[in-house]
Amino acid sequence: MDYRQLGASGLRVPALSFGTGTFGGKGPLFGAWGQSDAAAARRLLDICLDAGVTLFDTADVYSDGASEEVLGAAIRGRRDAVLVSTKTGLPMGDGPQDWGASRARLIRAVEDSLRRLGTDHIDLLQLHAFDAHTPVEELMATLDRLIAVGKVCYAGVSNYPGWQLMKAQAVADRHGWPRLVAHQVYYSLIGRAYEWELMPLATDQGVGALVWSPLGWGRLTGKIGRDRPIPAGSRLHDTAAFAPPVADEHLYRVVDALQAVAAETGRSVPQIALNWLLQRPTVSSVIIGARDEAQLLDNLGAVGWALSEEQMAALDAASDQLPPYPHTPYRQQEGFARLAPPLV
């Protein structure tokens, strides 16, 4: 396993990490993802640790805390061998203090996560979404306090607008508080919007990307193509409404390119899609998930080798899309193009 620095921090993380959204699954979304109990989760962790995967990502909102509880049970007795990442901020109830990132909510959420995980510290705490109601000074001061008392080691965000991430970094610098070191983002061959603004920001500010849904919500498994509809048993039948959208023709074009490269390399389609991400700028770790051992073992085969420059270029071309304004003219107009920064 390759290990990388998490952004500009001193924390080293594996190139592949494991997402535990399938642990304890219940409800229309997480129940469709998977329903691993503690015994099944422990077996998956055994495989991960044998392969050098040491970072495990969860969130309080995953199955109303059940994912954290199952992960806590699975790491019992080997906490020092793993890194635990969790997220908070999305609603955990209907009360006024059950969502967001206020000081009171954040402190209580961390205490609740520590209890469910059965640990005394969280290696990486991420704000699951931007809370427009909480002043950024309050947010960053609370994170500073949690880090100072040792309940959190590093802080990051997920699904954040670029200008709010930059604002948080500026506030941290102004007060001498710890900076955000991670951004958990959606990024895949069928979802490259991260590159347009958040990737240059991450390069400039030393923020490492933790990539969620690297296989495009299960669309880049090789099971879906021009002549292959969504197969029976796919979670897309129940969860497509929650997924980042993609046009059919764009998906098919990318899948065609993936299959061509897979044939050249003898690798699986998911392995090609994951390896492409591992070679992209700012990516610190790609979060893989699995409902069973076979899926996990196949995903773990994405490391230890690299796509060629020609193969990367073919995948880049097949997945390229014109970005939205204000990025469009920098691709379309000569005068703007001369001013555009190089791809990071």
φ and ψ of 230, to 5 deg? -55, 125
36 strand-pairing partners: 23
Whether the upstream peptide bond of residue 326 has omega within 30° of 0, thus cis, is yes
**Burial class of residue 50 (count of CB atoms within 10 Å of its CB; 0-12, 13-18, 19+):** exposed
Contact call for residues 17 and 285 (beta carbons, < 8 A): yes
89-98: long-range pairs with CB below 8 Å, 24+: 89/127, 89/128, 89/129, 89/131, 90/59, 90/60, 90/61, 90/128, 90/129, 91/61, 92/60, 92/61, 92/64, 92/65
Contact call for residues 335 and 327 (beta carbons, < 8 A): no
Taken in order 55, 59, 62, 64, the sign of the CA dihedral is positive
**Burial class of residue 150 (count of CB atoms within 10 Å of its CB; 0-12, 13-18, 19+):** exposed
H/E segment holding residue 117: helix 103-117
Contact call for residues 50 and 14 (beta carbons, < 8 A): no
Residue 7, helix vs strand vs coil? coil
Positions annotated as catalytic residues are: 62
Longest Cα–Cα distance of the chain, Å, equals 60
Residue 87, helix vs strand vs coil? strand
